[in-house]
Amino acid sequence: MSAIAQIDPDHIHIERLFTTPVARLAHPEAEALNAALSAAILARAAEGAGVQHSNERGWQSPDDFEQWSGEAGAQLVAFARAFANELTAVHDAQAGLVAADLQWRYNAWANVNRAGDANALHGHPGCFWSGVYWVDDGGCGEDPALGGQLEFVDPRGLMPSAYNPQLRMRIQGCLTAGYCSHVAPRSGTLLMFPSWLLHRVVPHTSARARISVAFNFGV
């Protein structure tokens, strides 16, 4: 019997180690929330130049979002905090993993990217979860050709692409191993990911502004 004939795919057991979670959740009242947030953020952006961090040409507020965003901002921060708790467990020596109800330290800031704007590759050191809520995806969610995607870099490095760019791991969930993964923005959606995961925002060409609020959570 040949070696190939001895391989029964149904008998292969695969463990997917080093899983990196990227969680998304749509806000149940996004339409009304986004209208209020958009008005507050665009008004704030019109008042000054903002700050310079990862943003390339785009406007970014200081991390004082909740101080000027009103009731809509407070509602979004509470939603993001509850999401962070839902994604987190605390290890107890006697009880094992228990659900978290943490008093997170957090900061939040707003971003406005217009046509050609982007965010450079970066991470968020000193935090546990980072997230982004898309107030307005700028049309990029419906048309990938417009750009504006959130791009994540595989933290394990180049892997197979260093040897042969055509190679892929023929395993569910592993086809992008060693490559970048992209998430299209969606208005009204909150995305949460580990703060150490390097990411950037791809430039977009839409005439509509791409408006978002970013978060960091730590303890």
pTM: 0.92
Instruction: Quote the pLDDT of residue 164.
Output: 81
Residue 2, pLDDT > 80, answer no
Whole-number percent of the chain with pLDDT over 70: 97
User: 13-17, 22-26, 155-159: which range is least confident on average?
Assistant: 155-159
Q: What is the pLDDT of residues 71-120, one digit of tens each?
A: 999 999 999 999 999 999 998 888 888 888 889 999 999 999 999 999 99
Instruction: Quote the pLDDT of residue 4.
Output: 61
* Crossing angle of helices 30-45 and 70-86, rounded to 10°: 120
Q: What is the pLDDT of residues 54-80, one digit of tens each?
A: 999 999 999 999 999 999 999 999 999
Q: What is the pLDDT of residues 146-184, one digit of tens each?
A: 999 999 999 988 776 677 878 888 888 888 888 899 999
89-93: long-range contacts, CB 8 A cutoff, minimum separation 24: none
Residue 25's DSSP bridge partners are: 190
Cβ distance 113 to 119 under 8 Å? yes
- What is the mean predicted confidence (pLDDT) over 4-18? 85
Please measure the distance between the N-terminal and C-terminal CA atoms of the chain and give it in whole angstroms: 58
Residue 132's DSSP bridge partners are: 191, 214
Q: What is the mean pLDDT of the chain?
A: 93
Residue 51, pLDDT > 70, answer yes
CATH fold of 24-45+52-91+99-149+184-218, please?
A: Jelly Rolls (2.60.120)
Q: Provide the 8-state DSSP code for 63.
A: S
Domain range list for the chain:
24-45+52-91+99-149+184-218
Q: Would you state the torsion angle of the CA atoms of residues 32, 36, 38, 41, taken in this order, to the nearest 10 degrees?
A: -150
d(CA 61, CA 20) in angstroms, rounded, equals 29
Residue 25, pLDDT > 90, answer yes
